[in-house]
Amino acid sequence: MQPPVGDIKSSTVSSLLAPTVALMASSSRLAELFLLWELCGSILLLLHAKYAEGLADDSDWLRRISGNVAPYRTIFVDPSGRLGNFTTIQSAIDSVPSNNRNWVSIYIKKGIYREKVKIPQDKPYIILKGQAKKTTEVVWDDHDNIVQSPTFTSLADNIIAKSISFRNSYNNPVNKKNPMVQAVAARVSGDKNVFHRCGFYGLQDTLWDDQGRHYFKRCTVQGAVDFIFGGGQSIYENCAISVLGGALGPGVTGFITAQGRSNLDEASGFVFKECNVFGSGSALLGRAWRAYARVVFYRSNFTDVVNPRGWDAWNFAGQESQLTFSEYGCYGPGSDTSRRVSWETKLNAATVNQLTSTSFVDSEGWLSSQPL
């Protein structure tokens, strides 16, 4: 139900807007003033209409935006060139000094950005803030090489992305002139990387969760084959896992994950916590990219897009005891485990709690120290 205008207290609005207005008053850049004024208008609309996807708790979002912009250097990107400091995201990133040690917030105006975006290893502490993942999108169509093809690449530590999407448009739709090959939408190779309300769209190898500790919250990941792959140590919480199995053709089964844990001592693994798995066609929950692959789905909703077998050992048939492929407390039409592979891992409650706790990626408390 839409709240009447009178339900939005003027004092609440004033308190939420105060930090932003203060920043406007102190800014020396006319372009920033105009953009911030536009943001104030958007804030009022969000408070009243509550229509924007991904902004269910508007007041919380506003407090974080208004509270976090002022203390950090803020850069504005506007593709039209009228209101921002830069017209491309990459040029904004390039302006951040090497070996940066202070958080830099890059606010990205809604639009489609047709560019490759790369955060190099020597530029940590960058925040990318779009306006919404459905309206702020980075698109490119490179393919074949997983290192060269990503639309977005993060090599640096301490990176945050919010309310923005990354798409590799090469594979879809699949046809003779556009065959299915590796076409990465995003590569995440830095440590302590966080993605909040972001989108990752592709077909094969959509999200290369390469290495490091990562936390994905309320994100959408879409694809058909190995579309979440790599050796990262990651939690995906409240995420939408969208299977495009229908793009593969009749009778062809896809794969959601291809995890790359290569030995027993590695901490890596993918944990899907309270996620929704849905889409078209059929897909297995995962296959083993490396000999000690580890994937856990916890209290997640499975539609019938999940293939009854569940898992595939791939090149490690006969070594299934080394793999950790597990489900715990999942529900929905695709959650029936009676036809799963016989070697699916049955984890005890203590191990499940250890893997699904935020401490799996955050044992030292780095998440709480980031300006989320």
Which candidate, 253, 257, 261, places its Cα nearest to that of 239?
257
Q: Are 305 and 282 in contact (CB under 8 A)?
A: yes
> Is 57 buried (19+), middle (13-18) or exposed (0-12) by CB count in 10 A?
exposed
Catalytic choice (78, 191, 205, 312): 205
Q: Do 204 and 149 contact (CB within 8 A), yes or no? A: no
Residue 205 a catalytic site member: yes
User: Given 209, 210, 226, 312, which residue is catalytic?
Assistant: 226
94 part of the active site:
no
Name the residues annotated as catalytic. 205, 226
